[in-house]
Amino acid sequence: MSIKRLQEEEFDALRRHLGQFKQENVEAIRRVLVDGVQQKDIAIELQVTKEAVSAMVGRAWRLHLEHSDRPEGWETVSVLLPRDFARLVKYLAAIVRKAQK
């Protein structure tokens, strides 16, 4: 199982490519990808199966990969780290992104 996460700014850029989704589902996708809410919890709230939520998030993730704006030489990486290390990596990524602007 890979953990797909986006920063709020990345999701905001993705939003324009999610026109085929109902607004309620866009918010659910944001809660999974940005806030880290578990898909099973979203499934309960929306009264759908976890597989339906997984498919919806998967479609949104593929759109993100297809349309995201990555600087030349950059790549997207998904890793599973202890919380403290994850915070450090996110902090460093934000510093690098800011320096590139």
* 10-residue mean pLDDT series, the chain (101 residues): 79 93 97 96 97 96 85 79 89 82 64
The confidence score (pLDDT) of residue 100 equals 75
CA 10-15-20 angle, 5° bins: 145
The confidence score (pLDDT) of residue 74 equals 81
CB distance 67 to 10 below 8 Å: no
The confidence score (pLDDT) of residue 70 equals 72
Distance CA 33, CA 61 (A): 9
CB distance 69 to 16 below 8 Å: no
The confidence score (pLDDT) of residue 1 equals 45
CB distance 24 to 35 below 8 Å: no
Distance CA 15, CA 50 (A): 22
List, in order of start, the domains of the chain with CATH numbers.
Answer: 8-72 (1.10.10.2690)
